[in-house]
Amino acid sequence: MKNLESLKDIPWREQEEAFNEIAKVANLAAMTEEEQNRYDDALRELQDAYSVFEYAMITGKNDGIKEGKKEGKTEVAKSLIQLKVSDEIISQSTGLSMEEIQKLKSNLD
């Protein structure tokens, strides 16, 4: 309460957030041990779900980047094939294997 006077210098939105946090702490302090255990379990489940979601987002993003790079290499290889560039040069330019280049050639025919 000694800092209550300085509260008026904080924008209303931040004041509201601060009071919400105070209310949460007060509610937690008033919980029975059983309620606290259920709350902790629910909070842990929420944190676990968020971690899984975050991991999935990062993994999906990385997979998408890899897939995009692969598609880019494939498109370059297709263009080089149409220009009648040798398989060796296509492989060196794109990093695709000779087998991958042969598959692309057969799909273009």
Tens of pLDDT, residues 74-89: 999 999 999 999 999 9
For residues 63 and 4, what is the distance between their CA atoms, to the nearest angstrom?
51
What pLDDT sits at residue 19? 64
What pLDDT sits at residue 2? 55
> If phi over 0 gives left and psi between -120 and 50 gives alpha, with beta otherwise, what is residue 91?
alpha
What pLDDT sits at residue 87? 94
Residue 9 CB neighbours (<10 A): 7
What pLDDT sits at residue 91? 94
DSSP string, 9-40: GS-HHHHHHHHHHHHHHHHHHT--HHHHHHHH
What pLDDT sits at residue 6? 59
For each successive 10 residues of the chain (109 residues), what is the average pLDDT? 57 67 73 85 87 90 90 93 93 94 90
Instruction: Please state the domain extents for the chain.
Output: 10-108
